[in-house]
Amino acid sequence: MTAHRIMPRTRFLFVLAAGAAVVLAACGGAGESGTAGDARSGRLTIGVAFETLQTEFWVAAWNALQARAAERQITLLEAVSDGDPAKQLDQVRTFLTRRADGIILVPKDGKTVIPMIKAANAAGVPIVLLNRPADATDAAHTVVAPDNATITRDTVAYLIQQARRSNPRVKAAILVGDLSDVNAVGRRDGFEAAVADAGGSVDVVARIPTDWNQEKALAGLQTALQAHPDIGLIFSSSDFMFPSVKSVLSAAGRWKKAGEPGHVVLGGFDGDATAWRLMVDGYVDATGVQDVFFEVDAALRAILDATQGRIPPPRIADPGFVLTQANRASLEARTWGAIVAKQGQ
C-alpha cells in the first residue's frame, strides 16, 4: 500500500541530492582555479567593518573612507555589524575568505576585537583598528586613534586663556565621560594637565560624571551651577552633550555669546555638526577635533605599506587640532562636523 506512495518521494529526494552533488562538483572545480577577480586585476581590495553607522561621526568616517579609496583605486568590501561582535567576527572571516588585502575595523570594544585580529594574523592579512584601540594583546595590528589627552590639553589651555581675559581666577567645571572608555579617560587627563599647567589660576569646582548620558549631564551641571553660580568655564568631554549645557545655562540666564557680558567660556571634544553650528553662532569658544580625514588616510596608508612589505607602526596618533573662533574659517574644510552641517542644510 504505502510502498508505491513513498517511491516517488524517495526518487525526488534522490534527484535533488544528485543535482546538489553536480552543482557542488562544478563549484569545487571552479573553486580551485577561480580566485577573487579583484586580486587578478591588480586592484587592492580592503575589507571595512564598522560596528555602527548610527552617529554622524561614523558616517563621516565611512564617507571619507569611500572617497579616499575611490581616489586610490581601491575596492572596498563593506560591512556593518550593528553592535554585534559575533556578527563582526563573521564579517572579518568573510573578508578573509574573499582574500581581502587588508582590513579596516571599527570594533565595538577592545576585547571582542582580539579574536578578529588573531584571525587576520593567522591569514597574514594586515588589520587596522580605526579610532578605537584593542586591549593589551600580542596579536599584531595597527591602531589609528586620536591623541585624546594632547588635543584636550591644548583645547582646555585655549579655553583657560579666553576665560582669564575677563577674570584672572577661573572657576571651571568638566563633564566627565564614561571612564570605562579610554577616550573619556584621555580627555579627563588632558583637562587636568591643562589645569595644572595654568598654575593656581584655575579652580575646578565640579567634576561631573555623565557615563555618556545626556540626562546625567543635565542634572549634574544644574547642581554644580547652583552651588557655584560664578562658574566661568565649562568643558564637555564630548560635543554631543552641548544640548544639556545649553539648557542649563539658558535656565540660569547664562547662555550668552562670546563677548557678551556673563558669557561662560565653553569647549568640547569631537568637532561634530552641533559644535560647529554653536561655534558659528558664537556660543562655543573652542573644540578639540578628531581629524577624520587624517585617520582614514593613515589607515589606508598603513595597509598599503603592509602590502608592500613595510611593517606599519602599532600605533598612529591622530594629532587632531583645536578649532577656535580665531582659526575657524581656515580649518573649516578639515572639520568633519562642518561638512556634515553643510550637508544637513
Q: Could you say whether residue 9 binds another protein (CB under 8 A)? A: yes
Least separation in angstroms between CB 5 and another protein: 8
Least separation in angstroms between CB 108 and another protein: 8
Question: Which residues, numbered 128-157, are part of the site for another protein (CB under 8 A)?
Answer: 135
Distance between CA atoms of residues 100 and 75, nearest Å: 9
Give the residue, chosen from 7, 23, 67, 196, that forms a contact with another protein under the rule CB under 8 A. Answer: 23
Question: Which residues, numbered 249-268, are part of the site for another protein (CB under 8 A)?
Answer: none
Piece of 10-18, 215-223, 240-248, 309-317 that binds another protein (CB under 8 A)? 10-18
Measured between alpha carbons, how far is residue 284 from residues 232, 274, 287 in Å? 13, 10, 8
CB nearer another protein, residue 203 or residue 211: 211
* Cα atoms in the Cβ-side hemisphere of radius 13 Å centred on 157: 16
Q: Could you say whether residue 332 binds another protein (CB under 8 A)? A: no
Question: Which residues, numbered 89-118, are part of the site for another protein (CB under 8 A)?
Answer: 89-91, 93-94, 96-98, 109, 111-112, 114-115
Q: Could you say whether residue 2 binds another protein (CB under 8 A)? A: yes
Please provide residue 40's backbone torsions phi and psi, each rounded to the nearest 5 degrees. Answer: -70, -35
CB nearer another protein, residue 84 or residue 192: 84
Given strand 44-50, what is the order of strands in its sheet? 74-80, 44-50, 102-106, 127-130, 142-146, 315-318
Helices vs strands, H then E, count in the chain = 13, 12
Least separation in angstroms between CB 156 and another protein: 27
Piece of 74-82, 209-217, 250-258, 322-330 that binds another protein (CB under 8 A)? 74-82
Residues 340, 342, 343: CA angle, nearest 5 degrees? 65
Distance between CA atoms of residues 206 and 176, nearest Å: 10
CB nearer another protein, residue 62 or residue 158: 62
Strand-strand pairing, 315-318 and 142-146: parallel
* Cα atoms in the Cβ-side hemisphere of radius 13 Å centred on 80: 8
Least separation in angstroms between CB 149 and another protein: 21
Helix ranges (DSSP H) in the chain: 3-33, 37-40, 56-71, 85-97, 113-123, 148-166, 182-197, 214-227, 242-251, 273-281, 292-307, 328-331, 336-344
Least separation in angstroms between CB 210 and another protein: 16
Q: Could you say whether residue 14 binds another protein (CB under 8 A)? A: no
CB nearer another protein, residue 81 or residue 324: 81
Q: Could you say whether residue 222 binds another protein (CB under 8 A)? A: no
Contact 242, 285 (CB under 8 A): no
Interacting residues with another protein (CB under 8 A): 2, 6, 9, 12-13, 16, 19-20, 23, 26-28, 30-31, 34, 36-37, 77-87, 89-91, 93-94, 96-98, 109, 111-112, 114-115, 119, 135, 180
